[in-house]
């Protein structure tokens, strides 16, 4: 009887924690305008909604390493945005390995990512 009660208690706690986790996630998404009802990008989309979109340093690093030409000029022209949220994303885990420590590229990347202090 005690084993059944213990298992029931554990199951109840698991269900409660799962429910709280889901409620928190849904609440956060709703506050950020990420719910399905407003998550579309047609004419009159969310491009001017003031969201803080960050690309990170990698695109700038790659463009700066390109040979001079029309494509590099066009891409550099886009460097100041505007950037907006879409459903498409390319990501790579391993940001710590993007740039060698104590190089110009790592300091520029830190500044672009909003570091308050660069050592």
> Residue range 65-74: average pLDDT?
92
What average pLDDT does range 20-35 have in this prediction? 57
Q: Are 19 and 62 contained in the same domain?
A: no
**Residues 75, 114: one domain?**
yes
Of 105, 117, 118, nearest to 56 by C-alpha is 105
The reply to whether 22 falls in a domain is yes
> What does 86-113 look like in DSSP terms, one character per residue?
-S-----S-GGGSS-TTSHHHHHHHHHT
38 assigned to some structural domain: no
Range of the domain at 109: 54-81+97-119
| pTM score | 0.34
Residues with Cβ < 8 Å from 61, sequence gap 6 or more? 98, 99, 105, 109
Tally of structural domains, the chain? 2
The verdict on residue 20 lying in a domain is: yes
pLDDT computed for residue 92 by the predictor: 40
Cα(117)–Cα(119) distance, integer angstroms: 6
Q: If pLDDT is split at 50, 70 and 90, which confidence band does 100 have?
A: confident
């Amino acid at each position: 009887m005690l084993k059944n009660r213990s298992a029931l208690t554990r199951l109840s706690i698991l269900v409660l924690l799962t429910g709280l986790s889901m409620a928190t996630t849904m609440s956060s998404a709703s506050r950020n305008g990420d719910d399905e009802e407003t998550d579309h990008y047609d004419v009159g989309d969310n491009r001017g909604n003031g969201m803080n979109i960050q690309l990170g340093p990698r695109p700038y690093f790659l463009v700066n390493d390109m040979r001079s030409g029309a494509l590099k000029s066009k891409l550099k022209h886009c460097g100041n945005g505007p950037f907006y949220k879409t459903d498409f994303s390319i990501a790579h885990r391993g940001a710590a390995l993007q740039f060698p420590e104590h190089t110009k590229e790592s300091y520029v990347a830190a500044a672009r990512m909003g570091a308050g202090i660069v050592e």
